[in-house]
A and B are shown apart, each in its own frame.
Chain A
Amino acid sequence: MVFYGRLYNVTEGTIESSLTKYTIAEYVGPDDRIYWLENNTLNAQVGFESRDFSINHANNMARIFEQAAKYSFYTKGYWPLLRIVCGNKTSYYFEWTHDNPNSIYACIDENNKRELPHWMNWHQENLWDSNIFSYCFSSAHSYGDFFGTTRQLISGSVYYGIPFNEVNSSTVPYVDISICDTQVEYNSGCTFTEAQSVYGRTTSPLQDIVYFKENNGICATICIINRTESGHPNHSGFCSMNYTPTPSADSVIGTAPVIPKGSFNLVFRGRPFVTYLAFINDVNSYTSNCPVMDAEGHDFVINNQWDYWFYTKLFDTIAFVVTDSILSVYEVLTANVKPDEPDVDPDNPPDPTEPPDPITPDNPDPYYDPTSDPDSPDYDPKKDPDSPEYDPSEPSTPYRPPTTEGGGDPPVKPPEDPVTPPPTPPSHAINSRFVTLYTPSLSQLNALAAYLWSPAWSIDGFKKIFANPIDCILGLMIFPALTSPSGSKEVNVGNLSTGVTMSYIDNQYVELNCGSFEITEYYASYLDYDPYTKIEIYLPYIGTHRLSADDVMSKTIQLKYMIDLLSGACVAFLVVDGTTLYTFTGSCATPIPVSGNDWSNMVNGILSVAGAATAAVISGGTAATMAAGAVASTSLFVSSHKENIRHGGSVASAAGLMSIQTPYLIVTRPRQALPIGQNSFQGYPSFMTESLGSLSGYTEVESCHLEHVPCTDEELKEIERLLKGGVLF
Chain B
Amino acid sequence: MTIDIQYTSSEANRVNKQILGLRRLEGTLRNNSNTIDPEVLIEGNIQDVAGANYLTIYSFKRHYFIRSIESVRDGVYLIRAHVDVLTSFATAIKGNSAIIHRQANNYNLYLDDGVMKVYQNPIVETYEFPQGFSGHMYVLTVAG
Q: Do A and B come from one complex?
A: yes
Chain A residues within 8 Å of B32, by CB: none
The distance in angstroms between the C-alpha atoms of A710 and B93, with both chains bound, is 10
Q: How far is the CB of A340 from chain B (nearest CB, A)?
A: 26
Q: Which residues of B contact A230 (CB under 8 A)?
A: 109
- For B97, give the chain A residue with the smallest CB separation: A691
- Docked-complex contact A479 and B139, CB < 8 angstroms: yes
Contact A665 B126 (CB under 8 A): yes
A512 to B129 CA separation, bound complex (whole angstroms): 12
Complex contact A525–B109 (CB within 8 A)? yes
* Majority secondary structure of chain B interface residues (helix, strand, loop or mixed): loop
Contacts of B19 in A (CB 8 A): 40
Say whether A696 contacts B142, CB under 8 Å: no
With contacts A685-B111, A706-B93 taken as known, whether A445 is within 8 angstroms of B125 at the C-beta atoms is no
User: Given A478-B138, A683-B103, A685-B107, do A662 and B120 touch, yes or no (CB 8 Å)?
Assistant: no
Stretch at the interface among A126-134, A135-143, A513-521: A513-521
**A435 vs B140: C-alpha distance when bound (angstroms):** 10
Cα–Cα distance between A167 and B137 once the two chains are bound (Å) = 77
> Is B113 engaged at the interface, CB distance under 8 Å to the other chain?
yes
> CA separation between A710 and B91, bound complex, in Å?
10
Rounded to whole Å, the gap between the CB of A541 and the closest CB of chain B is 8
- Taking CB atoms, residues of chain B closer than 8 Å to A708 are 92, 95-96
Of B18, B113, B119, B143, which is within 8 A of A685 by CB? Answer: B113
Note all chain B residues with C-beta closer than 8 A to A360: none
| A633, CB-defined interface residue at 8 Å | yes
Asked if B122 contacts A491 (CB within 8 A), the reply is no
> Least Cβ distance of A632 to chain B in Å?
5
A529: B residues at CB distance < 8 A? 110
Partner-contacting stretch, out of A299-307, A609-617, A715-723: A715-723
Contact (Cβ within 8 A) A729 B101 = no
Q: What per-residue 1/0 map shows which CB atoms of B110-137 lie under 8 Å from chain A?
A: 1111111111111111111111111111
- Given that A478-B136, A589-B139, A692-B97 are contacting pairs, would A686 and B102 also be in contact in the complex, using a CB cutoff of 8 Å? yes
Q: Tell me whether B104 and A719 are in contact (CB under 8 A).
A: no
The verdict on A438 contacting chain B, using a C-beta distance below 8 Å, is: yes
B97 contacts A688, CB within 8 Å?
A: no
A342 at the interface (CB under 8 A from B): no
**Known A532-B118, A728-B15; contact A437-B141, beta-carbon cutoff 8 A:** yes
Bound form: Cα–Cα A433–B15 in Å: 86
Q: How far is the CA of A481 from the CA of B135 in the complex (A)?
A: 5
Measured in the bound complex, the distance between the Cα atoms of B16 and A725 in whole Å is 17
Give residues 468-484 of A contacting B (CB, 8 Å): 471-482
Q: What is the minimal beta-carbon distance from B86 to any residue of chain A, in angstroms?
A: 6
A442 part of interface (Cβ distance < 8 Å): yes
A493 touches B106 (CB 8 A): no
Q: Which residues of A contact B106 (CB under 8 A)?
A: 18, 686, 688, 690, 695
Within 8 A of B (CB), among A441-482: 441-442, 445, 448, 471-482
Q: Does A407 make an interface contact (CB < 8 A)?
A: yes
Cβ 8 A contact of B121, one of A566, A671, A697: A671
Which of A19, A687, A696, A718 is the most central at the interface, judged by chain B CB atoms within 10 Å of its CB? A687
Give 1 or 0 for each of A526-554: 1 = CB within 8 Å of chain B CB.
Answer: 11010010000000110000000000000
Do A709 and B92 touch (CB < 8 A)?
A: yes
Nearest chain B CB to A525's CB is how many angstroms away? 4
- Tell which of A514, A691, A699, A715 touches B89, judged by Cβ atoms closer than 8 Å: A715
Residue contact B120 to A699, C-beta cutoff 8 Å? no
Q: How many residues of B contact A (CB 8 A)?
A: 68
Binds B, one of A27-35, A272-280, A381-389, A672-680: A672-680
Report A-chain residues with C-beta under 8 Å of the C-beta of B139.
437-439, 475-479, 505, 565, 589
A711 to B142, CA, bound (A): 95
Among B83, B104, B118, B141, contact of A697 (Cβ-Cβ < 8 Å): B104
How many Å from the CB of B59 to the closest CB on chain A? 14
The reply to whether the CB of A256 lies closer than 8 angstroms to some CB of chain B is: no
B83 to chain A, nearest CB (A): 6
Contact call B98/A689, Cβ cutoff below 8 A: yes
What residues of chain B lie closer than 8 Å to A684, measured between beta carbons? 102-104, 107-109
A709 to B131, CA, bound (A): 67
Known: A407-B110, A437-B140, A682-B115. A692 touches B98 (CB 8 A): yes
B25, CB-defined interface residue at 8 Å = no
A701 to B106, CA, bound (A): 12
**How many Å lie between the Cα of A708 and that of B95 in the bound state?**
8
> A688 and B99: CB pair below 8 A?
yes
User: Of A437, A505, A566, A683, which contacts B102 at CB under 8 A?
Assistant: A683
By a CB distance below 8 angstroms, the chain B residues around A673 are 116-119
Specify which of B89, B100, B131 is in contact with A710 (CB 8 Å cutoff): B89
Given the complex of chains A and B, what is the CA–CA distance between A636 and B104 in angstroms?
22
Per-residue CB proximity of A497-514 to B under 8 Å, as 1/0? Answer: 000001001000000111
Are B103 and A472 in touch, CB under 8 angstroms?
Answer: no
Say whether A159 faces chain B, with CB atoms less than 8 Å apart.
no
A131 to B106, CA, bound (A): 24
Report which of A476, A481, A685 forms a contact with B115, defined as CB distance below 8 A.
A685
B141 near A668 with CB under 8 A, answer: no
Evaluate contact between B36 and A714: CB separation under 8 angstroms. Answer: yes
A680 to chain B, nearest CB (A): 6
- Cβ distance A486 to chain B, nearest Cβ, rounded Å: 13
Is residue A571 contacting chain B, with contact meaning CB distance below 8 A?
A: no
Q: Does B47 contact A (CB under 8 A)?
A: no
- Tell whether B53 is near chain A: CB-to-CB under 8 Å: no
Residue ranges of A at the interface with B (Cβ–Cβ < 8 Å): 1-2, 17-19, 21, 23, 40, 230, 232, 315, 406-407, 433-442, 445, 448, 471-482, 491-494, 502, 505, 512-517, 519, 522-527, 529, 532, 540-541, 559, 565-566, 589, 592, 632-636, 638-639, 657, 660-674, 679-680, 682-693, 695-712, 714-715, 718-719, 722-729
Known pairs A448-B140, A481-B134, A702-B101. 6 more at Cβ < 8 A? A480-B134, A566-B141, A592-B138, A687-B100, A695-B100, A729-B94
Q: Can you report 9 A-B residue pairs in the complex whose CB atoms are below 8 A from each other?
A: A315-B130, A480-B137, A527-B116, A532-B118, A668-B125, A684-B102, A702-B98, A709-B93, A715-B85
* In the complex, the 4 A-B pairs of residues with the closest C-beta atoms, listed nearest first: A697-B104, A662-B132, A515-B130, A704-B98
